Structure 1
Amino acid sequence: MGFKENLRSELDYQDMIVKELSEKTGINKRSLDNYLTGHNSIPSADIAVTIAKALGVSVEYLVTGQETHSNGATSPKERKLLSLFEILDERDQQTVLTMVESMAERYANDGRKEKSSVQAG
């Protein structure tokens, strides 16, 4: 897929309309519509970076539909989680972190119990 398809897919995934992206980026709606319809299929690098940052994805992802896994959250689920997390205020972010750490610790402990019972059995 090309830029316009990947941009459309990401907008759909994030349940975002072009007007919202325009407001987040400062790029006028008509220009964004052109990128989505193919009249001007690939924006300049600086515009692509602005769009990618607003969507929480890399320019590489928008251009190729693929992303290298060496630089942070890359799956759609991870991107959505990060995007939602960034909306929260500091107190709520800390609450979420505490909850996730507690859940991860519980799963780690449950995993150790399962392994030791399998080895004992």
Structure 2
Amino acid sequence: MNFWENVEFELEKQGKYKKELAAAVGINASNFDKGKARNSIPSADKALKIAGFLGVPLENLLELNKTAPSQKTGDHTCVYELEKTLNSLSEEDASHLLYIAKRLADVKSVKK
């Protein structure tokens, strides 16, 4: 994922909007889609303001401390994408998925 995709993920996760962020850091909201399409990174001062607004380390948005987006959680290579997907589901759908995951874990533990 690029910088802007990470920003979008954090916004979704926190229930915030691009417009709020744009106003808080002094950028145009259309910069998100342009930056995402170009795979660009804003200037250092804007990037720091964005990270500050989101309350996350800039390294997380830049993925400096990660080897790949799918490896954000160590050995569980799909957890990051699963979390992103879960955040887009209704509470009811998320609870159904949790039930399935727990059942799968139960089945795997029985097989050992």
For the pair shown, the structure with the greater C-alpha radius of gyration is 1
1:74 equivalent in structure 2: 72
5+ residue gaps, structure 1:
17-22, 68-72, 112-121
RMSD over aligned Cα atoms: 3.9
Instruction: Identify if the C-alpha distance between structure 1 residues 65 and 6 changes in structure 2 by more than 3 Å, giving closer, same or farther.
Output: farther
Asked if 1:48 is matched to 2:67, the reply is no
CA deviation vs aligned residue, 1:52-73 (integer Å, no higher than 9, x gap): 87xxxx5322245215xxxxx9
Matches within 5 A, 1:27-46: 27=22, 28-30=29-31, 33=34, 37=40, 40-46=43-49
Structure 2: 5+ residue stretches without partners: 9-15, 23-28
User: 2:42 & 2:100 partners in 1: Cα distance?
Assistant: 47
Q: Which runs of 4+ in 1 moved over 6 A?
A: none
Following the alignment from structure 1 to structure 2, what is the Cα–Cα distance between the partners of residues 93 and 45? Answer: 33
TM-score relative to the length of structure 1: 0.50
Q: CA deviation at 1:100?
A: 0.3
Percent identity, please: 13
State the 1:79 CA deviation.
1.9
Cα distance in 1 for partners of 2:55, 2:80 equals: 12
